[in-house]
Structure 1
Amino acid sequence: MTKHRNYFAVLAILLVSSFLFAQGAKESSSTNNTITVYAYDAFCGDWGPGPAIVTEFEAKTGIKVNLVSAGDAIEMLIKVQSEKNNPIADVVVGISDDMAAKAYAADLFEAYQSPSLASIPAFLQFDPSHKLLPFDYGNFAFVVDTEKLPSEMFPTSLQALTDPKYKNKVLLIDPRTSSVGLGLLLWTIEVYGEQEYLSWWKAMKQNALTITEGWSSAYGLFTEGEAPLVLSYTTSPVYHVTYEDTTRYQTLLFSEGHSTTIESVGLLSSSKNKEHAKAFIDFLLTDAQLEIATANSMYPVNSTTELPPAFDWAPKPQKNLSLDAATIEKNLDRWLTEWTQVMSK
């Protein structure tokens, strides 16, 4: 099935599901004191910062938040598009910079120049129109379970991962449904170029235990011991050090360098409660930054945030890789189609 057929199939399902719960959600978000926030699953889940942030925000402001787990980042964007004529959400949390072009094309977000931007370095503010405001960032990486894989077998590069000795030892994520999976796809294009990236995926298809739809599923299988290597972030060990007091899970730095990602928050132009929505965005970029850094295991964007010692277990790559937004916008559909053709054979 092609990228476009997948897109419209998901869109049709979301249209039906959105209609079924629209009335209840719309009632809660239409009250003057309540906003609805869509966020990706990992942000809203037991491991994520969402629940604690909502509790703190409500206590500080008196504004109620209806936090909705809306799938992975790509699914979330499709969901908001499907509801364009019957809007539910006020704020969307988790659109990555490599998805920005699709977000702009959908014409969903309103510019908001938050006062908090003064404390965010310019290199993280990827959207000069301020429709998408950065709230955390990091590098994609593979994380290893040191109790399941001996140190002499730790891979040191993307190329090393294709060795047959890693058969059924790697958990990958679908780039069509996950921003983390998409991050790896772009990472391989950055390293190998358009002529060779599919060769890497052909080899990795033999080594992957499975390819999950989202990061939460992959990382859950990883921590359950199903495979010793998982696609995640350089900062993922921070969570385990902070909340589990263990250094069992460690980041692998690769010789080719690592792809970067910036996650953003956006104010929907269809929001009927924009002042409260802006207050939530401001809170996300200030008071919530430490909670985001530790629970989300990502770097905070606000330069005034003091990081705890656990971040010593998040090694920084010597080489950061990225593709410009225009290149991604021009080629992404084709890359996803090519990936699907290779992985479905």
Structure 2
Amino acid sequence: MKKILSVTGALLLSASSYAADLTIYTYDSFVSEWGPGPKLEKAFEAQCQCDMVFIAVDDGVSILNRLRIEKTKTKADVILGIDDALIEVARGEELVQPHGVTVTGLKQELNWSDADFIPFDYGYFSFIYDSQKITTPPTSLKALIESDAPVIYQDPRTSTPGQGLMLWVKRVYGDQSDTAWEQLAKHTVTVTKGWWEAYSMFLKGDADYVLSYNTSPAYHVVTENKTQYKAAEFSEGHVAQIEVAAITQASKNTPLAKAFLTFLISPEAQTIIATNNWMLPVVDGLTLPAVFAELITPKRIGFTPKEVAEQRQFWVREWRSAATR
């Protein structure tokens, strides 16, 4: 932990000599009034003597899609909010550059080592339900898909949770994934473009289950003192999401971008992210609300980033064909 702090201090002192804006592409809930963006901005600007500019889109996949369209013309210095399932796509299209940050102190379970991407939080895709309405939740993904319970999830073409469900279904069902999507479509209320739209609809009572994260109940406990929202734990295991940040290939202020990436894994930033983005921190040793110790800790399943990069387009077409029949 001390190594992280010392590196952060050195980089921020260096960055303070660069009077410039730092433009960051992220997703809309990150920069919302209750998200971590405003607090991170305040904390980092106090140290870097710079101006941070957040530009938000619907979700993580949308960040990547925008950067793919803009390429060298992008305004972004940093992308923040794509996940480990997308890193090989971004790297393969040469949209990012090596970060040059000495990364130490990350949780061992992440098993993270990457020259281009820095992890800043993680969680497990989960279906959230209201335990005051649902007393016997499903104990497997297959049980949920083969039920008639109203479900809301996100589009895998625009949303990282939606993509996570696509990987989850593929890992559990394999060659029978198209049948699973057809079954789920029969009791899907809607497929939204991004996470926030889906979760808002769920909170209004539009569905029994919504695709979100195992950490979502922590938000309700800490900010609303509501304990009825739970994450269903599935016997097959859950796909994990590691959210990452990177410096764009076209960045006009790489020293400042490098300083910000280092700041992201500092204890100060990690505490802000965990208790405002409601995801798990990537470093140990933080003091967090007690509810974090009560969250489900499912078995991790899924695919490697390379496997996703190779198969993603095919799996998206499979989902689109089966889910819209």
Q: TM-score, normalised by structure 2?
A: 0.90
Tell me, what secondary structure is at the counterpart of 1:283? helix
Query: Residues 97 and 126 of structure 1 are in contact (CA less than 8 Å); yes or no, is this contact kept in structure 2?
Result: no
State the AA in 2 paired with 1:63.
C
Q: Residue 88 of structure 1: SS of its match in structure 2?
A: coil
Q: Distance in 1 between matches of 2:204 and 2:27?
A: 22
Residue-pair matches, total = 307
- Other-structure match for 2:11: none
Check whether the contact 2:72–2:249 (CA below 8 A) recurs between aligned residues: no
Q: CA deviation at 1:125?
A: 5.3
Q: Given the alignment, which residue of 45, 56, 76 partners 2:63?
A: 76
By relative contact order (CA 8 Å, sep 6+), the higher-ranking structure is 2
Q: Are residues 1:151 and 2:131 paired? A: no
CA–CA separation in structure 2 for the residues paired with 1:164 and 1:323? 26
Does 1:87 find its partner at 2:74? yes
Aligned to 1:222: 202
1:102-135: CA deviation from partner (whole Å, max 9, x where unpaired): 11122011112323x111135535453x211111
Question: Which segments of 5 or more consecutive residues in structure 2 lack a partner in the other structure?
Answer: 1-17
Closer, same or farther in 2 for the Cα pair 1:121/1:162, shift >3 Å?
closer
Name the counterpart of 1:22.
none
Query: For residue 162 of structure 1, what is the aligned residue in structure 2?
Result: 145
Q: Deviations over 1:17-60 (max 9, x none)?
A: xxxxxxxxxxxxxx833111111122112342111111121123
Equivalent pair of 1:235/1:313 in contact (CA under 8 Å): no
Distance 2:118 2:273 in 1: 15
Name the stretch that deviates more: 82-91 or 259-268. Answer: 82-91
Alignment equivalent of 1:185, drawn from 158, 166, 173: 166
How many percent of aligned residue pairs carry the same amino acid? 36
Q: Which position in structure 2 is the counterpart of 1:271?
A: 251
Query: Distance in 1 between the 2:240 and 2:191 partners?
Result: 21
1:290 to 248, 268, 271: 271
- Residue 88 of structure 2 corresponds to residue 105 of structure 1: no
Partner of 1:52: 39
Look up the match of 2:8.
none
Letter aligned with residue 135 of structure 2: S
- Is the partner of 1:270 in helix, strand or coil? coil
- Out of 292, 295, 305, the residue aligned to residue 314 of structure 1 is 295
Deviation per CA, 1:231-262: give whole Å up to 9, x if none.
01111111111111111211110111111111
Q: Contact (CA 8 Å) 1:42, 1:216: kept in 2 or not?
A: yes
**Would you say the 8 A contact 1:237–1:313 is kept in 2?**
no
Structure 1 match to 2:282: 301
Aligned partners of 2:100 and 2:258 also within 8 Å: no
- In the alignment, does 2:309 pair up with 1:325? no
